[in-house]
Amino acid sequence: MSIPQIDNRRALPTMVAVLAAVLFAATTILVPVFAQASPSPATGTAQAKAIDDCLKADNVWVFVITEDETVLSNQCVDSPASGAEALDKAGVTVQNNKTGLICTMNDHPATCPKTFTGQYWAYYHASGAGAPWEYSQKGADQYKPAAGSIEGWCYNKPKTKSCTPPKLAAGSAEGSSFNLTTAHSTGASSSNNGVMSGPVATIAVIAVIVIVLVAALLVRRRHQS
């Protein structure tokens, strides 16, 4: 029994159509996901208003960001007696090292380093919207945040001496905008200035595969003609 031969001239348009359909489907599914992660003017407006309302009510804003711009806290807390209590009210879980300094927040890093690696949680305060960050001269247990102020924490990148939290868009003051968090969702929000590369990378890979396959089919067709 002989195996029927496939007419490459007829198969080529069909295969191209199938590959194009795959690329279109992937784009349709993934582009909306990317769009949701992209910066939105509404996010900046929401943060600026939320901080403004928080500070005007004599509450305290708590902002915590990691070295890869993952936001662990970006929210308002009421009347914390200390910087440590402000973190607790914001839903940020901390661990302290032997000297009493905070060495991990929301399992970042996963455990307190046994020896100092050069990375640490730096503690700052800002007196109000648009005010510059001031490095804390006291630990979180000893410092009492002023009503209407902002608490800031950042974790420095490897091989850098320290870090400073980004200036936040607050009220009429310009600055960086991030997704807001709640005490039950801290750690889940990422920097609004970051780029979600996964969907874009996936679409690019699919597009390259389609192009390579179509090119291979065209070359094969020319050789057989």
Q: Please give the chain's pLDDT, 225 residues, in tens.
A: 554 554 555 555 565 565 556 556 555 544 444 444 344 556 678 999 999 999 999 999 999 999 999 999 999 999 999 999 999 999 999 999 999 999 999 999 999 999 999 999 999 999 999 999 999 999 999 999 999 999 999 999 999 999 999 999 999 999 999 999 987 654 434 344 433 434 445 566 566 676 767 666 666 666 665
d(CA 77, CA 70): 20
Q: Which residues pair with 71 in a beta bridge?
A: 65, 189
pTM of the model: 0.66
State residue 11 phi and psi, 5-degree precision: -70, -30
CA dihedral in degrees (80, 85, 90, 94; nearest 10)? 160
